[in-house]
Amino acid sequence: MTNRTRIAYLVSRFPQTSETFIVRELDALRLRGTFDLELYSLFPSPDTVHHEVARRWTAMLLRPDLRAGIGGLLWALRRRPRALLDVVSTVLREHRRRPRILVRAVITLVLACAHARHIAGNPAISHIHAHYATYPALAAWVCHRLADVGYSFTAHAHDLYVDDSMLRTKVTDARFVVTISRFNEEILSGLNNSGTPIKVVHCGIDLSRYRFRERTIPRSGPVTVLCVASLQEYKGHRFLLEALATGGPQTSRIRLDLIGAGHLETQLRQQAASLGLTDRVRFLGARDEAYVAQALADADLFVLPSVIARDGQMEGLPVALMEALASGVPTVSTELSGIPEIIVNEVTGLLAAAGDSAALADALESMMTDPDLAQRCTRRGRSLVEQEFDLDRNVGTLADLFEQFVTETR
């Protein structure tokens, strides 16, 4: 047991309903029996609905408060003053053009000092792996500089598309970098002057949780369409509502279930009412994993109408699409970022132009009027998920990276 590699996972907030993929990854790594894992976070969780699977990790979570952060800062000032000065100057310099982000980066730096102090006192910790290239990767970099521990991080979506502050430095100093799509890999490669290994490791799902049922969309009567997505601009709900209101005879049969919470709920409810959709759209709020799995089992069709938000935010490669294809639900989404890597148009689903409600309505109509297409897509979709998005297989790839870049440097 003492020879096992100990890795600290570092995230912004835990638990978060929208980030169950991190819990799945932790569970799968733990079950492999190769690594001892610790879990660190930076900020309080805002969620009131927590997946049951997160509870075991919540019990061992280490999250410093501001007082502990200041204690860590004073520790670094005594023990590593030159390193601390360099850390502070680098953070200030590389965030100076975005004052609001700079404030949060400084808070992250202070909290990361508490984690660095803890790691310095626990030499068994060999490595830090951060999820997201923004504040978690920043905190991992601070720990690297102050506690002489290596780090890596997984880049997802907004952490590349919206805020790339200090990203080149984070890539340069990392042992390796993981990202979830080939689309993201190209972005990171453009910042990689140091030859840091960059590997695509898809987020994966536990296929045993999603019973595959090849289904046919009803030829008449109501059609249950499911969308699982937080109620944020980049998820594109407003275009979906417009598509339902303006589409053809098939879209008029749709009864839409929206699973997810977010700050746009009031606005979207008002839009649904103004479009005469109140009786056809249900806002179900945030739900746990078991509820989502059952909703997928019951759905006739799945849709994710993702767009690029005004601030640049967009999808990475949505886990919701993996779950839909695994369940055998005919799926419609948009041609954006990493989505075409899982929804291959007319092969595993249908794609519409992002932000085009008419094109989205046409895609929904096409899927609903072509039962042969829907059946082909469900079979091929499940096959693709089994090949490329199986949790156990992809965590095995990540474990191999830890073995290669962490165990060899101990």
Co-location of 135 and 164 in the same domain:
yes
Residue 410: band (very low, low, confident or very high) from pLDDT cuts 50, 70, 90? very low
The predicted structure's pLDDT at residue 1? 36
User: What is the rounded (10 degree) CA torsion for 242, 243, 249, 255?
Assistant: -80
Q: Is 355 helix (H, G, I), strand (E, B) or coil?
A: coil
Co-location of 104 and 87 in the same domain:
yes
Co-location of 339 and 221 in the same domain:
yes
Say whether pLDDT at 120 is over 90. Answer: yes
Say which amino acid occupies 73: L
Say whether pLDDT at 291 is over 80. Answer: yes
Q: Which helix (H) or strand (E) is 376 found in, with range?
A: helix 371-388
Which domain range does residue 71 map to?
5-204+390-409
The predicted structure's pLDDT at residue 388? 96
Which one-letter DSSP state was computed for residue 253?
Answer: G
Count of residues making up the chain: 410
Co-location of 184 and 219 in the same domain:
no
pLDDT tens per residue, range 300-321: 999 999 999 999 999 999 999 9
Co-location of 262 and 400 in the same domain:
no
Co-location of 198 and 330 in the same domain:
no
Say whether pLDDT at 237 is over 60. Answer: yes
- The DSSP bridge partners found for residue 134 are none
Co-location of 368 and 397 in the same domain:
no
Distance CA 365, CA 28 (A): 39
Co-location of 213 and 355 in the same domain:
yes
The predicted structure's pLDDT at residue 3? 67
Say which amino acid occupies 44: P
pTM: 0.89
Give me the residue label for tokens 């598309």.
161
Name which residue leads in pLDDT, 53 or 70: 70
Mean pLDDT of 22-38: 92
Is residue 92 within 8 A of residue 102, CB to CB? The reply is yes
Distance CA 265, CA 55 (A): 27
Sorted by sequence, the CB contacts under 8 Å of residue 175 that are 6+ apart come out as 127, 150, 151, 152, 196, 197, 405, 406, 409
pLDDT tens per residue, range 190-200: 999 899 999 99
Q: Which CATH number is 123's domain given?
A: 3.40.50.2000
Co-location of 282 and 367 in the same domain:
yes
Residue in 315, 314, 345, 317 with CA at minimum distance from that of residue 331: 345
pLDDT tens per residue, range 199-233: 999 999 999 999 999 988 999 999 999 999 999 99
| C-alpha separations of 399 from 30, 107, 178, 330, 347 in Å | 10, 31, 12, 33, 31
Please state the domain count of the chain. Answer: 2
Measured at the CA of 76, the angle between CA 74 and CA 80, to 5 degrees, comes to 140
Residue 52: band (very low, low, confident or very high) from pLDDT cuts 50, 70, 90? low
Pairs from 44-50 (Cβ < 8 Å, separation ≥ 24) = 44/13, 45/13, 45/14, 45/15, 45/16, 46/13, 46/16, 47/15, 47/16, 47/17, 47/286, 48/286, 49/17, 49/261, 49/285, 49/286, 49/287, 49/288, 50/15, 50/17, 50/288
Mean pLDDT of 50-73: 88
Distance CA 354, CA 304 (A): 10
Is residue 265 within 8 A of residue 382, CB to CB? The reply is no
Q: What is the mean pLDDT of the chain?
A: 94
**Cβ of 139: how many Cβ atoms within 10 Å?**
29
% of the chain beyond a pLDDT of 70: 97
The predicted structure's pLDDT at residue 102? 96
Co-location of 306 and 395 in the same domain:
no
Co-location of 311 and 323 in the same domain:
yes
Q: Which helix (H) or strand (E) is 152 found in, with range?
A: strand 150-155
Distance CA 373, CA 100 (A): 48
Mean pLDDT of 20-48: 89
Co-location of 196 and 223 in the same domain:
no
